[in-house]
Amino acid sequence: MLATLTRNTSSRITTTVRRLTIAAPKNFYANTSDKSHSLSVKVEGDGDGDGPPLLLINGWAGVGADWGGLPKLLSANSRPVITYDPRGLGSSIKLNDNVSKQSTTTMASDARDVVKCYFDAVGIEEENEREIDVMGISMGGMVAMEMTTVYNVRKLILGCTTPGGSKENPPAHPPKDGKFFGVFNEWANDGLETDKEIASEFLLKVLGESYCSTRTGKIMHGRMVERFVEGRAGFGENGGAGGVIAQLPALKFFDGTPILKQALFEEALIMHGMDDGVVPFGNAVVMKELIGEKARVEEMEKGSGHFFFITKAKETVEKIDEFLKN
């Protein structure tokens, strides 16, 4: 078995389609297939609807808590919504030194292990009944693309992400300039005020200055800074910003062109802010062209920034609900 349930608290989940009659965990740990980490997983919703679960995959440096209230909102239509902390971040645990190098392939394998563990827990054994919908944002979109090659993904949602490779529209803050990806270099762990300053700078970039200048944006920015620092205390087993820095190779070497051309899923929804200052909107257009008729693009209105799912949460939920129902 690739995924092993190591701890859980139970809550019943049932559905007429998949006949989930076994008590399913709300909080549990799933071991990775390389047996190096145990990933902290949370499930929102009772799951008595008709559709498959929805897996949310964070972007670079992200943990499950960064989704804020989105999982709860998306579970309102009786679908289980699954989030997790990646290896080296949040509450995930290092089990031994047999650690695979970080890549989108490794991360997709971890995401698959989370899903397998969930279905094992709810007693679904038939492979054709273990399908899932997946949403990945930013780097998580790259992981979501990779996941379609190793798991039965029904519908794919790609948010503020890029196809990578030669087709990519370069990000506004490339790694080499140190302005975006170098923001964690001075993370102190024991220097709370320094960490808050770093988190504040990072979140200002992904939320967008226009949003953060509003009253609502200022409040949200402040809340997310506190949550961000708390969720990354120690950055897992590596100390410092190691858990985050270890993800950088995945960003540099990903090429999703052949994956998107295969389109191993029923449909894809591409969501992107028109004024995304981190990953240009042009990437959404390129991905639509690569996927073809199976995909459509949702242009998130001006002011959405990179993290449109936070700045435009209500609109995001409405668009996702419509897509997953059809």
Which residues, at least 6 apart from 140, have a Cβ–Cβ distance to it below 8 Å? 56, 57, 58, 59, 62, 159, 161
8-13, long-range: CB < 8 A, 24+ apart: 8/121, 11/46, 12/46, 13/43, 13/45, 13/46, 13/47, 13/48, 13/80, 13/122
Helix pair 104-121, 139-147: axis angle to 10 deg: 60
| Lowest pLDDT segment from 132-136, 217-221, 248-252, 255-259 | 248-252
Taking the C-alpha atoms of residue 298 and residue 273, their distance in angstroms, rounded to an integer, is 9
Taking the C-alpha atoms of residue 257 and residue 6, their distance in angstroms, rounded to an integer, is 37
- CA 314 from chain centre, in angstroms, equals 18
* CATH code of the domain occupying 5-172+246-325: 3.40.50.1820
Position 152 confidence tier, pLDDT thresholds 50, 70, 90: very high
Position 294 confidence tier, pLDDT thresholds 50, 70, 90: very high
- In this predicted structure, what is the pLDDT of residue 175? 46
Residues spanned by CATH 3.40.50.1820 within the chain?
Answer: 5-172+246-325
Paired sense of beta strands 153-159 and 267-273, if any: parallel
Which residues, at least 6 apart from 282, have a Cβ–Cβ distance to it below 8 Å? 169
CA dihedral 198, 201, 202, 208 (to 10 degrees): 170
Q: What is the mean pLDDT of residues 237-246?
A: 60
Which residues, at least 6 apart from 30, have a Cβ–Cβ distance to it below 8 Å? 3, 4, 5, 6, 38, 39, 41, 84, 113, 114, 116, 117, 118
The answer to whether the beta carbons of residues 98 and 244 sit under 8 Å apart is: no
**pTM assigned to the model:** 0.87
- In this predicted structure, what is the pLDDT of residue 220? 93
Mean pLDDT of the chain: 83
Burial class (CB in 10 A: 0-12, 13-18, 19+), 197: middle
Q: What percent of the chain has pLDDT over 70?
A: 79
- In this predicted structure, what is the pLDDT of residue 4? 40
Q: What is the mean pLDDT of residues 209-227?
A: 92
Taking the C-alpha atoms of residue 144 and residue 136, their distance in angstroms, rounded to an integer, is 5
Q: Is the pLDDT of residue 221 over 60?
A: yes
Q: What kind and span of H or E run contains 93?
A: strand 93-94
